[in-house]
Structure 1
Amino acid sequence: MLYIIGLGLADEKDVSVKGLEIIRRAERVYLEAYTAVLLVDQQQLETYYGRPVILADREMVESHSDDILAGAHEQDIALLVVGDPFSATTHTDLALRCRQHEPSIPTRTLPNASILTAVGATGLSLYNFGQTVSMVFFTDDWKPSSFYDRVADNATLGLHTLVLLDIKVKEPDLKAMARGKIIYEPPRFMTVAQCAQQMLEVEEERQQGICGKEALAVGVARLGSEDELIVAGTLEELAQVDMGRPLHSLVLCGKKMHEMEWEYVRGFAVDQKKFDRVWKETNKA
């Protein structure tokens, strides 16, 4: 059987008891290491689990999944996923491959905490969230703005938007590849400040008032860990905030923020008076 086991958001101790029991008895244990990362390294996981863990990068999961699935119709294989297994379509695809495999491979999923639910720590109601969007790193000649349309759809309904921030793990150096060498760039993790700045850049082009300087937002970092950080303010303020080490996410607040949500979120505000003023002006609009 292939077990797809959610690890939660922070460290090695967030795994469930059921998940840990399976990890310790499985024939092989893989860690999917590119859709998200834990706040601890591989060695710390192996020490806690008491067994070796095989890193599964994008190429292995997407192009060489047969290596992972080998023998899974007779033995227990564990694939560890940061957060919740089905928060990423990658893992749905892998489960489908198990169904289509000859002979078919039974699967079992063990859920865990995800940013999709943990973001409720901001005080914003999960019932009031719309479509989730992703923000990628801009380059000098590539600044995709398709996220803006979905944010605009959410804004029309007064809903909050969770923005998942780009991570680059084991990305090939394209210049080196052109010379026939395989060299990987250092890992990069987008910050709340970078995301806010990119949203402001796109607003300058679109001019629809969706991601303007006074749009209220909440930045989160390392949710579920002992040093988690939540900061609220305008996008202009968050574009200047330093929230420390990864992982970060951002929520663009909907324009129908309930009074209870406002009262909770304002406790994280960079400037409470400004936050209150913008919220009151937004609710009048």
Structure 2
Amino acid sequence: MTLHLPKKVTIIEVGPRDGLQNEKNFIPTAVKIDFIAKLKEAGLQELELTSFVSPKWVPQMSDAEDIVAACLDLKTKAIVLVPNRKGMERVMHTPCRAVAVFAGVSDEFNRKNSNKATSELLKELIPAVIELKGKGYFIRACISTAFYCPYKGKIAEADTIRLCNVFIDAGVDELSVADTIGMAAPHESFSLFSKLIRNFPNQLITAHFHDTRKMALANIYAALEAGVVRFDASAGGLGGCPFAKGATGNVATEDVVYMLSRMGVDTGVDLEKLIDAIHLISPHLSRPIDSAVFRLHTAAE
């Protein structure tokens, strides 16, 4: 059997934003800046830096302007989350020109997250996307609950594809399609991503897997076979979803890098330097790092 694997993939590091936003301990801004710098040193060239959300609801992201001011450079793509118009107005006062917006496929998830049904949320988001595109911003649309919803259950592929199409019609540059509660199985990942790539051949499509049921690496392999060459990952497996009970962290960047390197797929990421970045952030976390590769490296030191 011949494996249909790419020679190179791109990893989008989401640890500084998606990974830290639900962390109970407030992490000093200087530590976050050093963490981001070490991730860049490891070779990660696209990163979600922070989120322009209300400091009242997400205190961890209250230093968003400071993070952006310290971490922008010409060599890496720095992306920030903009959940609403107020966040958009804040980011427009910074030099950052790449933003992420998000919407769940299911009404139930969106109501828990934003108190709006999907259609209501889109009425707010789509004009904002069009406005930002008109100002020259790179737009990343994060599609939550693309496979399963913690409140509705299984999501129909047609519903996910339909939402993706709405954002594509609005002019987004990238789709990040997420298994928010880590419930997708590899055959479901292969099926959905095959359809997305076939339907939208000129679109940047990124797969975003959570490792709740320890199937993220298997899902990444399936997405690779479907033709995906872009993956979100979080150093140390940091993260979770406040609106999806039991949803643990994103797939660990180090585990993804190790698996792909063993298969001869280039990520451009230096694993040893990535481990150094995780060592820097781990003392400030409320829970231990439990990724397999980090545990093995730590045991060997």
Q: TM-score normalized by structure 1?
A: 0.27
Instruction: Name the structure with the higher helix share.
Output: 2
Query: Which of 1 and 2 has greater Rg?
Result: 1
Q: TM-score normalized by structure 2?
A: 0.26
